Amino acid sequence: MKNFILIFLITHLGFGQSSITQEDIEIYTQLTLINVNEKDIISFEKHLQTIADRAKEFKIDYEYDWLTYKSEKDEYLIVNFSDDLNSILTIHDYRKVFIKANSGKIFDENISNLSKLDVNIRFNYTKEMILPWSTVAEMSVSEFPFAEMIEYEISSQSVNKIDKVLREFSELLIESKYPFPLETSRGSIGAYGKITLVWFYANTDNFRGMDTPKDWMKSKGKLKEYNALLNEFLALTHNPKNFKLRYQKKLSN
């Protein structure tokens, strides 16, 4: 699929019932993982950076912000944010804002150039960050520019059990003063049955998946409790996928 515009399209699927309330949802994020042919990487970054630079110049609203990460496999993860599930970013929203800033031509030219590149969209879905499953409400990308994102699949029957375990899991990390942020989300639009944990770090030395906090927990005398909750969580999930990511400031707004 070569059309970059598809980055901004989504399909509507529900997640199912659970004990999570609207107040538990901190923010909505749309994730798009993009594979770019090696011969087109320089052009891809050039055109995306032009859009990002222009967006920074006229300081587009928060609802239009995006972050770009690069994986160890040289794929690009674009993360869009919204406070409202019904206001997730679309190509129309971007174009409207650029036109308002008298930059519609720049936007159209670079989107057109991107659409001509050999680009494959590996996935595109929306998730809901659940505050009781996370150790922070927000964090500094500049302070923690590296992220290890682990995606799990769950069955609809295990949703409430997952909720209980993840609440206890995050509480244990907070009580133990674990120094690195954890943001945990459930899949929403286009991602029914997915749970995503994102561990943020200052460097890549900590990239050891769910085992990373164990040394810290051991030093706090909490390793037994951590392992018990981790094993309970892993028993409720399957098919984990791990993405090791580095923040790309120049490709972000």
Phi-psi domain of 193 (left: phi exceeds 0; alpha: psi -120 through 50; beta: other): left
pLDDT the model gives residue 90: 58
Among 60-64, 111-115, 189-193, 208-212, top mean pLDDT goes to 208-212
Residue 3 confidence class, pLDDT cut points 50, 70, 90: very low
The three-state secondary structure class of 60 is: coil
pLDDT the model gives residue 214: 98
The pLDDT of residue 9 is above 50: no
Question: Which of 25-34, 169-178, 221-230 bottoms out in mean pLDDT, i.e. has the lowest?
Answer: 25-34
pLDDT the model gives residue 64: 62
- The number of residues making up the chain comes to 253
Among 159, 164, 160, 220, CA closest to 193? 159
Residue 52 confidence class, pLDDT cut points 50, 70, 90: confident
**H helices then E strands: how many in the chain?**
6, 8
CA distance linking residue 36 with residue 137, whole number of Å: 32
Output the six-digit token pair for 234.
Answer: 């892993």
pLDDT the model gives residue 144: 97
Residue 62 confidence class, pLDDT cut points 50, 70, 90: low
pTM, to two decimals = 0.86
Mean pLDDT of all residues in the chain? Answer: 86
Mean pLDDT to the nearest integer, 29-49 = 94
pLDDT the model gives residue 5: 41
Among 128, 96, 126, 110, CA closest to 32? 126
Question: Which of 48-57, 119-128, 243-252 bottoms out in mean pLDDT, i.e. has the lowest?
Answer: 48-57
Spell out the domain ranges in the chain.
1-253
**Beta-strand (E) ranges in the chain?**
25-36, 66-71, 76-82, 119-130, 146-153, 182-187, 194-201, 238-247
- What does DSSP say about strands 25-36 and 146-153: parallel, antiparallel, or unpaired? unpaired
CA distances from 235 to 15, 166, 182, 191 (A): 20, 13, 20, 20
CA distances from 155 to 13, 165, 193, 237 (A): 15, 15, 6, 8
CA distances from 185 to 64, 114, 166, 194 (A): 20, 30, 10, 8
To the nearest whole percent, how much of the chain has pLDDT over 70? 87
DSSP 177-208: T-SS-EEEEEE-TT-TTEEEEEEEESSGGG--
The pLDDT of residue 185 is above 90: yes
The CATH class that applies to domain 1-253 reads alpha beta
